[in-house]
Structure 1
């Protein structure tokens, strides 16, 4: 299920046992190399900080995919030849640091047109650096609590095995008409639906499912219909009660915590983002009762790895946002129409991502619908 993949959504606890965060992920995803020591650099993109429902709609009308990403290498911190990279990219001396905008601008397809991007991606390969990322679709993350609430309260382990397909199906019918979904959230102060309104809320979900059946495979339609029927008989929906009304996401700090805990034997170097720095600064990480200090914050202009990570995170943020905004047929047409330069850059990106997964499956973390994960794989590999 999605909920155990990250630290709690709230920041109430200031003591974090890294093993409580990581052990479940390692077990269910088979992350056998999470104990390996790396130096991991981070930057982020599309951090809207908070997603909430207002009287006039979402505070962010069309939330884009949030990405924590960057580069990593084995072992302790080592020198990264930033001056060589600046020379290859022909970055002006007046530029204090390397950013994605120095390489290319625009949406993902526009970035793929850049020969400078080709140089950058090839340099990453030549340097033996690994790309890592955690990607989150804010709307998907906001919706999955509905399924998790039902499955948690019902307690049938066989249904747990279907949780990703159920979430994928529910997300498909709710994102089909985002204004309608936001209106639903407004009427029920989602996620604080509460016990008194639970039945009416579930009934509205069933109405939408019936009306949009054509969006789903028959098996997924019947499975989700059955789960919503189960919800009618439950006494509680735990993640939809006693929550903060209208707050879908209260911050992305837990996702940084997740990465730090998962790679507990690594050194983590993060860009200074004051909200995240404050959030993590309130936490104390312990490993079997022993305090651990495995992360630090640095200014990007002082840290080559963070500057490189700015480009990686920005590129991946634009890629996953494109995936999120188009269906498979549209992506197929787009891929077939790529120019030779675009195809070359896409192949280099795919090679980088494949090499990272070959090194360590834990370098990739998704909070995306199954359809979007499949579509991303298709676009990368054809």
Structure 2
């Protein structure tokens, strides 16, 4: 299947003219929290939907690293064949921060100025944005209020459905979301509005919530939701391959080494990524045992996945309470982790790709501010 990349790549570059996508790097990847498919069942989702799919790892920009020093410092068992996150830490994000071996690893990454890259996709947010986009297509004048306003509507939609997850899941299953028939749109919209009418105490922007409800109601009356329908019943996310492909073509002058993932490899292999007169062949899949860079990527990605679960499931108030309880070691690990992210972001913001709501971003900023002020 032919996939010309330059038109979509140029469009993405125009949205972020300050980012250098043309430099040559070597990206190494691992992934975490990839359910392969995400769908609703009668009594639950097939997997936890309150976390984020994370794809990312280490960026090699020519710096030589002393891996043997790291390996020796970690004092791993002699029969250890490859470095994995489980060798350094376990438990949720807060418990992982108690690990001295994690501290050794993060200090090594920081001291060696090793760069990292991350794509993080909030599973629930990614699953529901088509509801808002569809509603806005019926009220196109709202686009004139700008991207920040649209982002606020999507964030509020996500907050409401996240706070009422059982009702959301039941609603999705009942109407085969996202494969909703035109006949069912009015009732589907009516039930979503019912959910938005719950207390929803954490919704601060009541004005935007009111506009969201009015926009949804208007779409229900028109019996039209352009981006819903024509899908598989109850299949929220069928594939994640597009996030791999995006890295390949956005950084088309770079090389990309992914951890072996047979299903993804087969799908990507079906595409011919056409760059003008050439076919992009700037990627490979390797066994992590044979590549220390993929092993380092495993640790960065696994820790980030736990961090995202923590952020997704803690309000700003709870984040402050948890931070106050941290030990010196936990705070040091947290500070090192955020420093590594910040250093890489300053080097090239294109190393980071997030699909999530404003609320989650604000929670991350809250935690960053707590770290900086201590």
Normalised TM-score (structure 2): 0.93
Which is further off, 56-65 or 131-140?
A: 56-65
Identify which of 305, 311, 318 aligns with 1:317.
305
2:198 corresponds to which residue?
Answer: 211
CA RMSD of aligned residues (A): 1.8
2:9 corresponds to which residue?
Answer: 22
CA distance in 2, matches of 1:62, 1:172: 13
Identify which of 118, 122, 127 aligns with 2:103.
118
Shift of 1:363: 1.1
Which is further off, 207-216 or 161-170?
A: 207-216
Q: Residue 191 in 1 paired to residue 178 in 2?
A: yes
Structure 1 contact 15–285 (Cα < 8 Å) conserved? yes
Shift of 1:73: 2.5
Identify which of 232, 235, 253 aligns with 1:247.
235
Q: Residue 39 in 1 paired to residue 34 in 2?
A: no
1:133 corresponds to which residue?
Answer: 118
Structure 1 contact 350–380 (Cα < 8 Å) conserved? yes
SS at match of 2:197: helix
Distance 1:40 1:240, change over 3 A: same
1:28-86 CA-to-partner distances (Å, cap 9, x unmatched) read 244521111111100001111111112222111445321002010225xx764332221
CA distance in 2, matches of 1:282, 1:30: 31
CA distance in 2, matches of 1:61, 1:125: 32
1:258-303 CA-to-partner distances (Å, cap 9, x unmatched) read 1222211111110001111112111211112421111111110111
- Pairing 1:116-195 to 2, within 5 Å after superposition: 116-156=101-141, 157-159=143-145, 161=147, 162-195=149-182
Identify which of 73, 86, 90 aligns with 1:88.
73
2:330 corresponds to which residue?
Answer: 342
1:11 corresponds to which residue?
Answer: none
Normalised TM-score (structure 1): 0.91
1:212-251 CA-to-partner distances (Å, cap 9, x unmatched) read 3543222221221232133234453122111111100112
Paired residue total: 367
1:304 corresponds to which residue?
Answer: 292
CA distance in 2, matches of 1:241, 1:349: 42
Gaps of 5+ in 2: none
